[in-house]
Amino acid sequence: MGPSSSGKSTLARAIGDARDIPVVHLDQLRHVPASQWELRTDEDFAALHDRAVVGERWVIEGNYSSLLPQRLAQATGFILLDSAAAPSVVRYLQRTWGRRERVGGLAGTEDRISWEMIRYILGTGQANQRRYRALFKELTLPKVFLANRAALGRFYRDEILRVRP
C-alpha cells in the first residue's frame, strides 16, 4: 500500500518476477478495461478482489481500504510505501507524460493528466497515508515500512529485485 505514484505497481511486479508469484493490480480490478478509468460496480470489484485473495500465493498492490480486511486476513506480509505529496505529483506527471503504458495501468487506456488526480494526491491521498501509517503500527503481520525513495532503493537491492523495462 501507499500513496498514488509512490512505486507500488513497479515494486509488486518486481517481487512477483523475483519470487514467481502472480501480481494483482487493484486498479485493474476496480476499473473497466479500455474504458478511460470507468469504475466497475462496487459488487463486481469486491467479487474480483475476493477471488484474487483466496489464491495460494499473490502480491497485491493498491489501497482500496474498504476491502483491506479481506486482504489482511489472507496476507502473509505487508509493505507500506511512503511519499510526500510533491514528489508523488512529480512522478505522476512523469509517468503520465512519459509512457504510453505503465505497470499496473489499465489495458487499452492511455493515461492523461487529470487535475482531479493531482488534487487527490495533494489532499485525500495524503490524509489516507496518515491512516495507513496508523494501520501499519497496529499490524501483527511481518511488515516493511519504506519511508522514502532511498529506503525503496535499498529494499530493491537487499531483496535482489529488478525493475523490468
pLDDT per residue over 43-53, tens digit each?
999 999 999 99
pLDDT per residue over 85-135, tens digit each?
888 888 888 878 866 667 888 787 777 788 888 888 888 877 888 899 999
Does any domain span residue 31? yes
Question: Given a cut of 90, is residue 22 above it in pLDDT?
Answer: yes
Does any domain span residue 165? no
Does any domain span residue 44? yes
User: At 5, is the pLDDT very low, low, confident or very high (cuts 50, 70, 90)?
Assistant: confident
Alpha helices by DSSP H, listed for the chain, are 8-19, 26-30, 42-53, 68-74, 85-98, 115-122, 124-138, 149-158
| Domains in the chain, number | 1
Does any domain span residue 83? yes
CA dihedral 141, 142, 146, 150 (to 10 degrees): 180
Torsion angles phi and psi, residue 108, rounded to 5: 75, 10
Three-state DSSP at 146 gives strand
Does any domain span residue 2? no
Domain housing 111:
8-158
